Structures are given as C-alpha cells and as structure tokens.
Amino acid sequence: MTTPAAITLSTSGITAADVLAVARHGARVDLDPAAREQVAQVRAHVDALAAGETPVYGVSTGFGALADTSIPPSMRHALQRSLIRSHAAGTGPEVETEVVRALMLLRARTLASGRTGVRPVVVETMLALLNAHITPIVHEYGSLGCSGDLAPLSHCAIVLMGEGRARDRDGVERPVPELLAEAGIEPILLEEKEGLALINGTDGMLGMLLMALADLDELTRAADLTCALSVQGLRGRDTVFAAQLHEPLRPHPGQAASAANIHALLADSPIVADVLAEGSRVQDAYSLRCAPQVAGGVRDTIEHARTVAERELAAAIDNPVVLEDGTITSNGNFHGAPVAYVLDYLAIASADLASIAERRTDRMLDKARSHGLPPFLADDPGVDSGFMIAQYTQAALVSEMKRLAVPASVDSIPSSAMQEDHVSMGWHAARKLRTSVDNLRRVLAIELLTAARAIDLRAPLTPSAPCAAAISVLRKTVEGPGPDRFLAPDIAEAEARLRDGSLLAAVQEVSGPLR
C-alpha cells in the first residue's frame, strides 16, 4: 500500500483513522507548533508548584499508597526514574507491534493536550520513537486497567530514558542506547510529574478497541457475504431479507443494514429462483432466517462501542491533571471501566456471530439437512472426509470464543496496599477481544470455503453475481470440489482474502457498497 500521509498532533486530538494509520501503516506523526506552545505554558505551572512548599501528588510526593510521602527536590529525578523502572514489571509474551504503536501514539496525544504538565521534549521524543519505528517490548501481563495501563506504558517510557528493551523497524531486538543513537534521539532525564504522566492512561485498551472496531466493521460485512453464500449452498430463500420485514417492523438499524446487504448479495440468484419455483419449503432454519437479527445486533453493539471509543479518544487522562486555571488536582479518570465494558460486550457479540456461522457450516455438511449435497461435501464419501474436520476446527474456534466472552471487567483484585482497591481489568478485556476477532475471521473463512464448495456442487445452477465474484476470487488460490487434499492451506488462503479486503472489494464492485 502507499505510505499514508503524516498526521499532526494538536491540542484538539486525533481520529481513529489517525491511530490506524500510525499503528498499522507506519504513518509519520508531527507535533503542531501551537500544541507545543500550549504544553510549554502548562509546564510552567508545574515548575512553579514544584518550587513551592505545598505538597502536590506526583510532583513532590510519592505514588499510590505512598502519596503522603514528601520527596525533597534533590530526589525528584530519582523519584521519576524509579517510578518507571519499578512499574516496567510486565511478563509473558510480547504484545504486537501495532498495539505498542497505538499505545505510544495515544499517550503522546494526551501529553500534547496540555493537561499533563510535561515538557515539550517528552512529547517530541515519544513521536521520534514512532517515526524511527523503534518499538518498545511490552508484555502481555502487567496492567489492571486502572491507574492507567501502568506496566505496558512503563515499558514504553523506560525506552525514552535509554533503558529497557526495544526492536528496530525490522523487528530485531537491539540495545536501546544503540537504537536511540542511530535515530539521533537523546534519552530523557525525567523532571517532576513526567514519569507519572507517561504511564497514567487507558491508551493500551483504547488502542486495541479502535483496532477491533475497524476489524469488526469489515467482518460484519464478510459475515453477511458468507451468509448469502450459505443461503444458496443450502437452497435457502431470500424473502426473509426483504426490507419491509425489518426497519418498519423492528427498527434496529444494524438489523436493517444486514438484511439489506444479504438481500443485495442474493439478487437475481438462479439458485434462489429455482428454490422459490419449487416451493417445497415454507421456512429456513434459524441460522439462515435470523442472520440479520444476529449480525444486526453485532452492528449495533459496534456502534455503541464506537461512541465510547470516540469519547475516550477526546479525553485527556492523567492523574493528577492540570486544569485550565493551572490547578493540579487528583482524579479518577484513569479508571478503565467505560472502555472495559464495551471490550467485553464486543467479545460477546463476536462469539455469537461466529456461532451462527458455524451452525450454517455444519448444516451444509449434514446430508440430512443440506437438501441434496453429499455428506461433508466429500468427493467420494467414505473414502473422502471432505470438510468434516474443517467444521471441527470451526467448532473449536467458536468454543474458545465463548470462553473469551466471559467478561474480564467484572473481576477486580485490589492492589497498592488497598489504595487502588477497585480496578477495571480493561487491558485483559482488550487482549481477549483481539483473540476473539482473529477467531471470528477464521470461522468465517471456513464458512466461505464450505459455502463456495456447496454452491459449486449445485451446478449447473449458479449463484448471484456478487457471490460468483467472491467465489472467483477464492478460486484463484483455492481449488474447487475434488478428492481430499491438504486443507489447512486452503483455510489460510480464505482467511487471507478476508484479511486483505480483496474478497469484499470484488463483491462490492458488483453489488455496490455494503452497509
């Protein structure tokens, strides 16, 4: 793809599209001069408070349960340095590069808001890391989603200090001082409040939410497509997708959008026309007939989550925070509950969308319910097993997704000597949602393979033009019906076509834009 245009951090913030451009596509980030000036002006308030006699949390005191401990000026550099070192306490597998880049960009966005009291150089150094494609190594475990994503952000902040671990643009781990020197980046000696400002935000869980929303936008359309393919593979009817049955009778916008998509994807299908002419069945199974209600509910859940994400994207989260009059005051805005709830909600919706897709797949493999297809779509049933085990794989994915749908946000383990006695677990809600979204794509890939094969076996009847376009893209790398062969590469190819957008692009050239 072409290199995305640079984005500019200003006091008004950034968009979800900006986050995706930087996190996934390596866009450059620049700091608006006006934002730099605002950051510098706010820093002057912090410097004045640091020189005063009144204790200010994060400026002249310790942290968490040690908030009442006064720190003399001679020890404040050590205070900030020790904060980052001690909080960079993650463990487990490394987090994906795109998550770390989103994490850093979103923290830089808050730093550039003028609400945190850091010096401009702190923001500029964070952006320099992003632009040099230096990626701190962040671990899976460490955040409780309250007081911010402390451990993950600390693993980023420690690299600004010239310590910790990081990888270069090629993904090779190299010594941090070497990476910074090569990029012309000076390590930062943190001043009062700056260590705390670097780590006290919901940036990790928000970044993962924004990326999940982008993926789910595509996957809900893909689910409408695989449903339309399965309807034809199973000799289903299109009448239940007519517009007059949805918005006028049950005005959920997501349901109306899904029904409209499926109806458009089935338009002028010779298979459906043959079914209606035959007139042997009055109703299809729920997994076909109720597809818009399920996929529509997923869409409406996505829209609710998007509202929360946009609100959080407009927030400036730190503790303490600098108000417009220069006052520095403690608050609880770092608590990740609002984000955690929708991350969990999306995992539930994702699991159910996968569940109904798996039921359609299983129906196409069962000779008692497939209306004339061979058992398991096998070329020579008995000798060949066809797609029998592909459905097992799909069932395993769905089963895991159901486990991942158990909410993380209802759990809370007190920390910091009971000072932080209620936490959100939003980071873990985000981590499991990422797995769920990946599994959903794999489930839909298997339904795509199964439905395409079922449709091929309906010859000489043919599918609708949009669905024929989808099968044409698939058949460029996946063969049609025949004897059993190594199936894992076919599943991987189908998943890749869903991931790279080529399948939906080909379909929409014929059907027009899907909602």
**Residue 231 — pLDDT band, cuts 50, 70, 90?**
very high
Residue 105 located in a structural domain: yes
Residue 413 located in a structural domain: yes
Task: Concatenate the DSSP letters of all residues of 370-399 into one string.
Answer: SSSPPGGG-SSBTTB-TTHHHHHHHHHHHH
Residue 264 located in a structural domain: yes
Residue 324 is predicted with a pLDDT of 84
Residue 508 above 60 pLDDT? yes
Residue 376 above 60 pLDDT? yes
Mean of the per-residue pLDDT values for the chain?
A: 94
Residue 76 located in a structural domain: yes
Residue 1 above 60 pLDDT? no
Q: Does residue 173 sit in the same domain as residue 214?
A: no
Give the whole-angstrom CA distance, residue 8 versus residue 10. 6
Q: Does residue 377 sit in the same domain as residue 392?
A: yes
Residue 2 located in a structural domain: no
**Residue 408 — pLDDT band, cuts 50, 70, 90?**
very high
Q: Does residue 389 sit in the same domain as residue 412?
A: yes
Last residue of some domain: 201, 236, 260? 201
- The residues annotated with a catalytic role in the active site are 57
Determine contact, residues 225/471, Cβ cutoff 8 Å. no
Give the whole-angstrom CA distance, residue 508 versus residue 199. 43
The pLDDT tens digits for 325-336 are 888 888 988 999
Q: Does residue 212 sit in the same domain as residue 154?
A: no
Domain residues for the domain of 377 are 208-511
Q: Does residue 54 sit in the same domain as residue 194?
A: yes
Q: Does residue 186 sit in the same domain as residue 212?
A: no
Determine contact, residues 21/27, Cβ cutoff 8 Å. yes
Residue 53 above 80 pLDDT? no
Residue 60 located in a structural domain: yes
Residue 148 is predicted with a pLDDT of 84
Residue 282 located in a structural domain: yes
Token couple for 399 = 């089963």
Residue 1 located in a structural domain: no
Q: Does residue 180 sit in the same domain as residue 217?
A: no
Residue 426 is predicted with a pLDDT of 95
Determine contact, residues 22/29, Cβ cutoff 8 Å. yes
Residue 74 above 90 pLDDT? no
Task: Please tell me which residue, 329 or 7, carries the higher pLDDT value.
Answer: 7
Residue count (the chain)? 515
Last residue of some domain: 201, 216, 236? 201
Please state the domain count of the chain.
2
**Residue 12 — pLDDT band, cuts 50, 70, 90?**
confident
Q: Stretch 440-449: mean pLDDT, rounded?
A: 98
**Residue 232 — pLDDT band, cuts 50, 70, 90?**
very high
Q: What is the pTM of this model?
A: 0.95
Q: Stretch 452-468: mean pLDDT, rounded?
A: 98
Determine contact, residues 434/348, Cβ cutoff 8 Å. no
Q: Does residue 39 sit in the same domain as residue 107?
A: yes
Residue 103 is predicted with a pLDDT of 98
Last residue of some domain: 201, 222, 248? 201
Residue 63 above 80 pLDDT? no
Q: Does residue 142 sit in the same domain as residue 237?
A: no
Residue 4 above 90 pLDDT? no
Residue 109 above 70 pLDDT? yes
Q: Cβ contacts of residue 109 below 8 Å, gap of 6+?
A: 9, 13, 14
Q: Does residue 254 sit in the same domain as residue 215?
A: yes
Q: Does residue 371 sit in the same domain as residue 254?
A: yes
**Residue 64 — pLDDT band, cuts 50, 70, 90?**
low
The span from the first CA to the last CA of the chain, in angstroms, equals 24
**Residue 26 — pLDDT band, cuts 50, 70, 90?**
very high
Residue 65 above 80 pLDDT? no
Q: Does residue 90 sit in the same domain as residue 126?
A: yes
Residue 305 above 90 pLDDT? yes
